[in-house]
Amino acid sequence: MRSLLALIPLLLSTFLPFSLAAKATAQAQPAAGADPVKALVGRLDLEKYKATVKGLTQFGDRRQGTDRNRAAVDWIEAQLKSYGCPTERIKYVYEPPPPNPGGGRGRGNTDVAAGGGRPRGVRTPTGVNTDPMKQPNEKLRALNMQPTTPGPREMVYCTKVGMTRPDEMYIVGGHMDGHGWGEAANDDGSGTALVMELARIFSGPDVQTERTIRFALWNNEETGLNGARAYVDQRQALQGKEDPPGSRRFPEPKWLGMIQHDMMMFDHGMPRPDGTMNPEQRPEADVNIEFQSNSKMAQGSQALAWTLHAANEKYATDYPAAVGPHMTNTDSTPFMDLVPAISVRENERGVQIGSGWDPQWHQPTDLYTTYSDKDFRLGLNAAQTTLGAVAELTGATLKK
Contacting residues toward Zn ion, per CB under 5 A: 187-188, 262
What is the C-alpha to C-alpha distance for residues 194 and 263, in angstroms, rounded to an integer?
A: 10
> Of 296, 317, 79, whose CA–CA distance to 196 is shortest?
79
The residues with which 151 forms a beta bridge, in sequence order, are 94
CB of 203 or CB of 330, closer to Zn ion: 330
CB of 77 or CB of 188, closer to Zn ion: 188
CB of 156 or CB of 169, closer to Zn ion: 156
CB of 167 or CB of 188, closer to Zn ion: 188
Q: How far is the CB of 266 from Zn ion (least distance, A)?
A: 12
Report the half-sphere exposure of 5 (CA within 13 A, side-chain side).
2
Q: In what order do the strands lie in the sheet with 254-261?
A: 87-94, 151-160, 211-218, 165-175, 254-261, 341-345, 287-290, 321-324
* Entry field: residues in the chain: 400
Q: How far is the CB of 330 from Zn ion (least distance, A)?
A: 6
E-only strand ranges, 165-271 = 165-175, 207-208, 211-218, 254-261
> Of 72, 50, 51, whose CA–CA distance to 60 is shortest?
72
CA 300 from centre of chain: 20
DSSP 8-state assignment for residue 2: H
Q: How far is the CB of 219 from Zn ion (least distance, A)?
A: 12
What is the C-alpha to C-alpha distance for residues 178 and 82, in angstroms, rounded to an integer?
A: 24
CB of 188 or CB of 366, closer to Zn ion: 188
What is the C-alpha to C-alpha distance for residues 285 and 17, in angstroms, rounded to an integer?
A: 14
Q: How far is the CB of 47 from Zn ion (least distance, A)?
A: 24
Contacts of 99 (CB under 8 A, 6+ apart): none
Q: How far is the CB of 223 from Zn ion (least distance, A)?
A: 11
CB of 186 or CB of 203, closer to Zn ion: 186
Q: How far is CA 189 from CA 105, 174, 348, 368, in A?
A: 26, 8, 18, 9
Helix (H) or strand (E) holding 155: strand 151-160
The residues with which 215 forms a beta bridge, in sequence order, are 158, 172
Q: How far is the CB of 274 from Zn ion (least distance, A)?
A: 27
Q: How far is the CB of 188 from Zn ion (least distance, A)?
A: 4
What is the C-alpha to C-alpha distance for residues 11 and 96, in angstroms, rounded to an integer?
A: 54
CB of 212 or CB of 332, closer to Zn ion: 332
User: Coil, helix or strand for 161?
Assistant: coil
Q: How far is the CB of 82 from Zn ion (least distance, A)?
A: 25
Q: How far is the CB of 268 from Zn ion (least distance, A)?
A: 18
CB of 10 or CB of 128, closer to Zn ion: 128
Q: How far is the CB of 310 from Zn ion (least distance, A)?
A: 26
- Alpha helices per DSSP H over the chain: 2-27, 36-41, 46-57, 67-82, 138-143, 190-202, 226-235, 298-315, 373-393
CB of 188 or CB of 197, closer to Zn ion: 188
CB of 187 or CB of 366, closer to Zn ion: 187
Q: Are 122 and 270 in contact (CB under 8 A)?
A: yes
Rg of the chain taking only CA atoms, in angstroms: 21
